[in-house]
Amino acid sequence: MNRLLDHLHRSGERIAVHTDSQHLSYVDLAARVQTAASTYGDGRRLVLLETRNDVATLVHYLGALAGGHVVLPVPAGRDHTAVLQTYDPDIAVSDGEVHHRHDTAAHRLHPDLAMLLSTSGSTGSPKLVRLSYTNLLSNAHAISDYLTITENDVAATTLPMSYCYGLSVVNSHLLSGAGLLLTDLSVTDERFWESFRHHRATSFAGVPYTFELLERLEFDRLDLPDLRYITQAGGRMAPERVRRFAEYADAARWQLFVMYGATEATARMAYLAPELALTRPAAIGTPIPGGAFTVDPLPEGTDDTVGELVYRGPNVMLGYARGPADLALGKTVDALHTGDLARRAPDGLYEIVGRTSRFVKMYGLRIDLQRVETALSAAGISAFCADAEDRLVVAARTQEVGGVQQIAAEAAGVPASAVCAVAVDELPLLTSGKPDYPAVRALARAPSQSSATTVRDLFADVLQLGATGIDPDASFVDLGGNSLTYVTTSVRLERVLGRLPADWPQRPVRDLEAMEKPARSRRSWAATMETSVALRAAAIVLIVGSHAELFELWGGAHILLGIAGYNFGRFCLTRRPRTDRVRHLRNTIGWIAVPSVLWVALTLLLTDHYTWTNLLLANKILGPHDSMTAGRLWFVEVLVWTLVALALVFWSPAMDRVERQRPFALAVVFLVVGLALRYDALSLDMGRDAWFTMLAFWFFAIGWAASKATTPLQRVLLTAVLAVALHGYFDSLTRELLVFGGLALVMWLPTIRCPAALTAAAGVLAEASLYTYLVHYQVYALFPGDPLIGVLASLAVGILLTQLVTVARHRLRVRRTERRRTLTPAPR
């Protein structure tokens, strides 16, 4: 105890820990650690510690080490039954509370044993890595050495403390007298970067998926004046991405350290010097200080430069533990056989070229595919396993793919959503009779609408992401969801959850997953549907039916304009960084404008319905104004140019800050501007026809304001404004009441309950509303004298086009994935 506490005291009043609510000096931290250590009782104990990136976890972790106990870190909020039953820890620490499970120590613990960590390949199983104090200290010293960590550094905790990589960040910085910024926020959360800047953090760590998220955030544009370096480990990162981030680093004057390691080596074995990341991005570099590699030749290798990579160093584990009796063992391992095939290049750098066995790296874990197949076989299921696009693909001779998915996920230690289970009549074999694993990989496809049974699979399908490309702490909005994809998502999400929460677009995936219902419990006559989805469906039917003269109920386009504003507030003005907001807006504009222009161009070739100004979506601005058909696309024109103008407005950092600080107030300001145009405050006297141009902006603005209204008083105010502004706007009281009812429903009733069949139909219509709006003028005209068939045909064509575009997007993604797989070297 004294050595660790003495070290903390030596760092004095320097800040050891930053959080959003407090700062702890090393002296303060030492006092808390000493108090925590005293709560564990006499004798060496086995302490199971549920970890979060918070002060309580850090204090109890250090307290257990200071007291000479053996720490077993596990992630909070997970099922630890296997570990609890196998090792029966003396003490369990959860949320800072110490629970004594035995009055006296129940285990014989070797004097060198300091920590037990879940192995990379057996997360969720009782197999653990035994680490000594020497392992921990030597690895922390080596990391501090090659990263040149000083007392002026502050590292943000982007990885969990239960993970060897995350824990190594903590150990190396505290050993160096540096600071830690403790946070569980995702790098996709703007608050993370605000805290990073506020506390002047100098580094953070990431696994390959972290860097994928950083690219989506346009990380190279973030203002991080104190950033000194970023580290990457937890799996192989594509060389082109390494090179790209090395270029970012070179331009912004920070450093990128690519590293290679394993839990069995207490985290790190090799690192690539930052100056080599541009020219040697595929290499793992050189051994860490104090470590050494050898390349053991293969028994039947044809290339004598390639062999199994073997590591030796003081950070190599004591050995594995498979039960409590193993905790009394000393060192049983002298060298770590990594299972990676490697070569040493002429410049002295080591390169990974393949695997000696069927291991793959996913979620930062090393997974033994043979072990997964064995687990399935033990359950009476014949199956072959392969990896594809960071997913585990299982071909099984059974129709119960749900059970296959669960067994495979548990055996691999990954979420069930990361497993693609496919039922086959016969397992694919080569002519030699051996498993045809390429054929198994070929079975991997993005889940269809009917097969997406989890939140993660559903989001992966709709947003065109891999299931493992989804951060559980990110929301639908964070993952790139917008007003064009939320319709499909909301309808299908209701099937998965059983009931749709009103704020689902802003909820983290993790929270939604916790609400998932068993498939049998999802069947119900009724379903929850977003009011905005129902209104989009109803509005497009009203628009098409009125234009085809099946009936006369006008006002659908103005309802759609209000809903567009509502979705703008929800999906564009999020907590994401400014550049991400603008990029989101740009993409939304593209998904509306490009199909519109393409349809106009096609129509120009076949009819005289449109003019060249329609190609610019500017007929209402440029004319001609005397055509019976040229003004048909007024709704699309108003929407596109409104979004273009707002994209320019929110490109301004000042406007972006104002909106974040006063979201409702700013929306009301724009509503006032819209109402000034509606009441012709500038005396432009443009007449009623102008109310079907940009002067209809106030409908968009009131929908925007509704999305930011958080109190009943704000909603009452908007409802009153809506009623007053609509009075006399149209020539028809029916039209005014229709629009008022629709927009008031959005303000006061975000979701509705209706028959499940109706929910599905409304979702399909709402998703197809844009394409239906574009094509219906030309389609219903093909059925003169039969408006009902014209309306049904227009809706059918709109739905068909929407489905064709969706299928085309999916096929493009599959081709890109296959191309990447072909070009990507073997994982290390």
- Bigger pLDDT: 577 or 239? 239
Distance, in Å, from the CA atom of 337 to the CA atom of 363, rounded to the nearest integer, reads 21
> Does the pLDDT value for residue 599 go beyond 90?
yes
Give the DSSP H or E segment for 270: strand 270-272
Give the whole-angstrom CA distance, residue 313 versus residue 132. 13
Contact of 734 with 599, CB cutoff 8 Å: no
**Per-residue DSSP letter, 448:** P
Indicate whether 105 pLDDT > 70: yes
Q: How many CA atoms lie within 13 A of 778 on its CB side?
A: 19
Using the structure block, give the residue that is written with the tokens 């397992």.
Answer: 427
Mean pLDDT of 482-502: 73
DSSP annotation of 618 reads: -
Angle between helices 369-378 and 401-412 (to 10 degrees): 130
pLDDT confidence bin for 780, thresholds 50/70/90: very high
pLDDT at 112 over 70: yes
Cβ-count burial 742-755 (b if 16+ within 10 Å, e if not): bbbbbbeebbbeee
**Residue 499 binned pLDDT confidence (cut-offs 50, 70, 90):** confident
Mean pLDDT value across residues 229-249: 92
Sheet holding 91-94, edge to edge: 97-100, 91-94, 46-51, 70-75, 113-118, 128-132, 319-321
Rounded Cα gap, residues 652 and 655, in angstroms: 5
Task: Report pLDDT for 489.
Answer: 80
Q: What is the mean pLDDT of residues 540-562?
A: 94
Q: Of 237, 162, 173, whose CA–CA distance to 206 is shortest?
A: 237
Q: Which two tokens stand for residue 493?
A: 């999400």
3-state SS string over 271-308?
A: EECHHHCCCCCCEEEEECCCCEEEEEECCCCCCCCCEE
Question: Which residue is associated with the tokens 């150990």?
Answer: 171
Give the mean pLDDT of 408-432: 75
- Is the per-residue pLDDT at 28 higher than 50? yes
Q: What is the mean pLDDT of the chain?
A: 85
- By the 8 A CB rule, do 456 and 823 touch? no
DSSP category for residue 825 = P
Q: What is the DSSP annotation of 417-435?
A: GGEEEEE-SS--B-TTSSB
Q: 3-state class of 205 per DSSP?
A: strand
For residue 791, give every residue at least 6 positions away whose Cβ sits within 8 Å of its Cβ, in sequence order, or none. Answer: 541, 544, 545, 548, 550, 780
Q: What percent of the chain has pLDDT over 90?
A: 53
Q: How confident is the model at residue 811 (pLDDT cuts 50, 70, 90)?
A: low
What dihedral angle (degrees, nearest 10) is formed by the CA atoms of 264, 269, 274, 278?
-90
Distance CA 655, CA 645 (A): 13
- Give per-residue pLDDT as tens, 610-624: 888 888 888 877 777
Inform me whether the pLDDT recorded for 27 exceeds 90: yes
Report the distance separating Cα 297 and Cα 227, nearest Å.
Answer: 42
| pLDDT (0 to 100) of residue 820 | 44
Percent of the chain with pLDDT over 70: 87
Most confident range (mean pLDDT) of 3-7, 257-261, 653-657 is: 257-261
Residue 812 has a pLDDT of 67
The strand pair at 154-156 and 179-181 is best described as parallel
Q: pLDDT at position 551, please?
A: 93
Cβ contact 556:539 at 8 Å = yes
Q: Residue 380: is it exposed, middle or buried by C-beta count within 10 angstroms (0-12/13-18/19+)?
A: exposed
- Report whether pLDDT(418) > 70: yes
- Which of 227-231, 479-483, 638-642 holds the top average pLDDT? 227-231
- Cis before 508 (ω within 30): no
Q: Where are the beta strands (DSSP E) in 57-157?
A: 70-75, 91-94, 97-100, 113-118, 128-132, 154-156
How would you label 280-301 residue by residue, b for 16+ Cβ within 10 Å and e otherwise? bbbbbbbbbeebebebeeeeee
pLDDT digits (tens, 9 = 90+) for 444-456: 643 333 345 578 7
Mean pLDDT confidence for 560-586 = 87
For residue 405, the model assigns a pLDDT of: 84
Is 646:582 a contact under the CB 8 Å cutoff? no
Per-residue pLDDT at 158 exceeds 90: yes
Helix residue ranges, H only, 413-521: 437-442, 455-462, 486-497, 509-514
- For domain 2-353, the question of CATH label 2.40.30.200 is answered with no
Nearest by Cα to 426 from 435, 413, 417, 418: 435
More confident residue, 101 or 809: 101
**Side chain identity at residue 402, one-letter code:** G
pLDDT in tens, 662-680: 999 999 999 999 999 888 8
Q: How confident is the model at residue 104 (pLDDT cuts 50, 70, 90)?
A: confident
**pLDDT for position 164:** 92
Q: Could you tell me if 294 and 336 are in contact, meaning their C-beta atoms sit under 8 angstroms apart? A: no
Instruction: Transcribe 724-741 into DSSP letters.
Output: HHHTTTSS-HHHHHHHHH
pLDDT at site 357: 63
Instruction: List b or e across 705-737, with b for residues whose CB sees 16 or more CB atoms inside 10 angstroms.
Output: bbbbbeeeebbeebbebbeebbeebbeeeebbe
Task: Check residues 749 and 368 and name the one with the higher pLDDT.
Answer: 749
The CATH architecture to which 359-442 belongs is: 2-Layer Sandwich (3.30)
Alpha carbon distance 566, 710 (integer Å) = 13
Ranked by mean pLDDT, which of 262-276, 474-488, 573-587 comes out on top? 262-276
Residues 490-510: what's their mean pLDDT? Answer: 76
The domain limits of the chain are 2-353, 359-442, 455-524, 531-752
pLDDT score of 124 more than 50: no
pLDDT per residue as tens digits for the range 65-77: 999 999 999 998 8
- Does the structure show a pLDDT above 80 at 205? yes
Q: How is residue 612 written in tokens?
A: 């060249």
Does residue 684 register a pLDDT over 50?
yes
Residues paired with residue 622 on neighbouring β-strands, in sequence order: none
pLDDT in the model for residue 500: 74
Digit-coded pLDDT (tens) for 741-778: 999 999 999 888 888 778 888 888 998 999 999 999 99
What pLDDT is stored for residue 689 in this prediction? 53
The full DSSP string for 683-703 is -----GGGGGTGGGHHHHHHH
- Give the H/E segment covering residue 343: strand 336-344
Topology annotation, domain 455-524: 1.10.1200
Mean pLDDT for 38-48 is: 92
Q: What's the full length of the chain, in residues?
A: 828
Would you say residue 122 has pLDDT above 60? no
- The whole-number pLDDT of residue 825 equals 39
Q: What is the model's pLDDT at position 827?
A: 35
